[in-house]
Amino acid sequence: MTSPDPHDIAGAYAQLTEAEKAASQMESMLDAIETKMARLEQLAVEGDVSTETVQAARELETLDRELDQLQDDVHRIVPYLDIDIV
């Protein structure tokens, strides 16, 4: 992602557009994380420790790292936004 000049209208609009794209990606990732967490909870209730459980946990770790990177990108693009995903 680039960092347009925030001091002109076009630059500010470009920043907003990039931030909106990143926010949309973050929302999709959060949905995916929620789905994976629900599946892991179901597997835990069933006492399942299969490959599916291990794979789901790995996918959650990957999604978490990607989400952290997107959050960093948003802070870099629009540093005054207060967006923290925990």
Which pLDDT does position 79 carry in this prediction?
A: 67
Which pLDDT does position 15 carry in this prediction?
A: 78
Which pLDDT does position 57 carry in this prediction?
A: 80
Would you list the DSSP string of 18-29? HHHHHHHHHHHH
**For each successive 10 residues of the chain (86 residues), what is the average pLDDT?**
62 80 82 83 79 80 84 73 54
What is d(CA 61, CA 31) in angstroms, rounded to the nearest whole number?
14
Give every CB contact of residue 33 below 8 A, 6+ residues apart in sequence. 60, 63, 64, 67
Which pLDDT does position 29 carry in this prediction?
A: 82
Q: Which has the closest alpha carbon to 3: 24, 12, 66?
A: 12
pTM of this prediction?
Answer: 0.55
Which pLDDT does position 85 carry in this prediction?
A: 53
The residue length of the chain stands at: 86
